[in-house]
Amino acid sequence: WPSGGAWLLVAARALLQLLRSDLRLGRPLLAALALLAALDWLCQRLLPPPAALAVLAAAGWIALSRLARPQRLPVATRAVLITGCDSGFGKETAKKLDSMGFTVLATVLELNSPGAIELRTCCSPRLRLLQLDLTKPGDISRVLEFTKAHTTSTGLWGLVNNAGHNEVVADAELSPVATFRSCMEVNFFGALELTKGLLPLLRSSRGRIVTVGSPAGDMPYPCLGAYGTSKAAVALLMDTFSCELLPWGVKVSIIQPGCFKTESVRNVGQWEKRKQLLLANLPQELLQAYGKDYIEHLHGQFLRSLRLAMSDLSPVVDAITDALLAARPRRRYYPGQGLGLMYFIHYYLPEGLRRRFLQAFFISHCLPRALQPGQPGATPPQDAAQDPNLSLGPSPAVAR
């Protein structure tokens, strides 16, 4: 085991090797080096030299390989189709890929929408705008034919399934079945039909499929049952594609972003209209059992959670870009603050703590009207009575 001057020589050689590597020299690298130094100190005192060397080498390789910049493929004449470019992640990704030299086929719901006009104004002539409603088979067929006709010389390198849909934030019982169907039509069936239609081109180019999912498809976010189940379905579909397309050289990645301030998130008026529409169409029996205050509380909690959203969309755009160009793209990307903690809690902590964390982070329920004290036959369930995150009366969030 090196010591004194020999240790300094080894450290100097290691540092030289790090500088030759394509590493991001910043806080993450300094933190990794500090942790490795602490681990080295412990290993020297607790383990025999061969075992200590093996542990330190393995830890160093894992840490530094995570910090190294992934090898990127050249853009060259690659063509990419991106859905949902009217706003948010899709629009920003289209702008970035166009600036990098990609041939971008950007689909929008309306060719005269503000997002479409912005793309037409600020991007190069390489970018082509296509009208696409994923719930209409005719639109999908037209986009498939256009893509095949306009990528004969370059091939199609990538598909970015970004378009998404959610229109209700409410308990699953309060959400109309039509909401589940509409979410599945866009988030699952639309992505499935478009992906299957483009697979011959993607297999030919040994290209990439990148799909924007959601953590709501991995864990039971309160009041996102319709949206979350559709995102869970598309994530499983993409995992299936990932296995089945491996012999063809097609790589599949899923982006699981945190909460970001896209245009749909910032449109508070739209969410207010959807809440009013939900109240107007709710069966009288459910309205009596849950109460208007309950739905107002959920709405207020949801708007409160949106205030924590990140305004900088670049982490998601960078993840999509890496999935398209990295020589070895990840199967999952998790851009956004706090996602590592959320997934750790979801996978490793007891169910009660997981539920309370999601309630504190997103939406904390109050008791439905029929279960509140003083109501005929009201008997709050034992779990509700013991849950400190559950309000026992009308929501204080409505008054905030």
Note the pLDDT tens digit of each residue in 57-86: 777 767 666 666 668 888 888 999 999 999
pLDDT value at residue 48: 85
Mean pLDDT, residues 202-213: 97
Contact 134, 191 (CB under 8 A): yes
φ/ψ (deg, to 5) at 135: -90, -5
Mean pLDDT, residues 320-349: 92
What CA–CA distance (Å, rounded) separates 351 from 346? 8
What CA–CA distance (Å, rounded) separates 221 from 225? 7
For residue 369 the two structure tokens come to 């009207």
User: Can you give the length of the chain in residues?
Assistant: 400
Query: How do beta strands 158-161 and 208-212 pair?
Result: parallel
Mean pLDDT, residues 201-225: 95
pLDDT value at residue 53: 78
For residue 361 the two structure tokens come to 């982070």
Whether residue 343 is predicted with pLDDT greater than 50 in this model: the reply is yes
**Domains recognised in the chain with CATH numbers:** 3-67 (no CATH), 79-361 (3.40.50.720)
User: Which of 393, 346, 395 is CA-nearest to residue 374?
Assistant: 393
Band (383; pLDDT cuts 50, 70, 90): low
Which residues, in sequence order, are bridge partners of residue 130?
107
Instruction: List C-alpha distances in Å: 67 to 62, 172, 299, 373.
Output: 9, 41, 40, 55
- pLDDT (tens digit per residue) in 225-255: 999 999 999 999 999 999 999 999 999 999 9
What CA–CA distance (Å, rounded) separates 243 from 252? 9
- Catalytic annotation, residues: 227
- pLDDT (tens digit per residue) in 139-152: 999 999 999 999 99
- pLDDT (tens digit per residue) in 167-201: 899 999 999 999 999 999 999 999 999 999 999 99
Which residues, in sequence order, are bridge partners of residue 254?
211, 332
Instruction: List C-alpha distances in Å: 338 to 70, 171, 193, 342.
Output: 23, 24, 33, 6
pLDDT value at residue 400: 36
Band (217; pLDDT cuts 50, 70, 90): very high
Which residues fall within 8 angstroms of residue 392, CB to CB, at 6 or more apart? 366, 367, 372, 373, 380
- Residue that wins the pLDDT comparison between 394 and 61: 61
Contact 143, 191 (CB under 8 A): no
What CA–CA distance (Å, rounded) separates 250 from 203? 6
pLDDT value at residue 377: 58
- Residue that wins the pLDDT comparison between 372 and 81: 81
Other CB atoms within 10 Å distance of the CB of residue 258: 18
pTM for the full model? Answer: 0.80
pLDDT value at residue 38: 87
Of 8-17, 85-94, 116-125, which gets the smallest average pLDDT?
A: 8-17
- pLDDT (tens digit per residue) in 112-133: 999 999 999 999 999 999 999 9
Band (41; pLDDT cuts 50, 70, 90): confident
Instruction: List C-alpha distances in Å: 98 to 80, 110, 138.
Output: 10, 20, 27
Whether residue 20 is predicted with pLDDT greater than 90 in this model: the reply is no
pLDDT value at residue 1: 43
- Residue that wins the pLDDT comparison between 40 and 367: 367
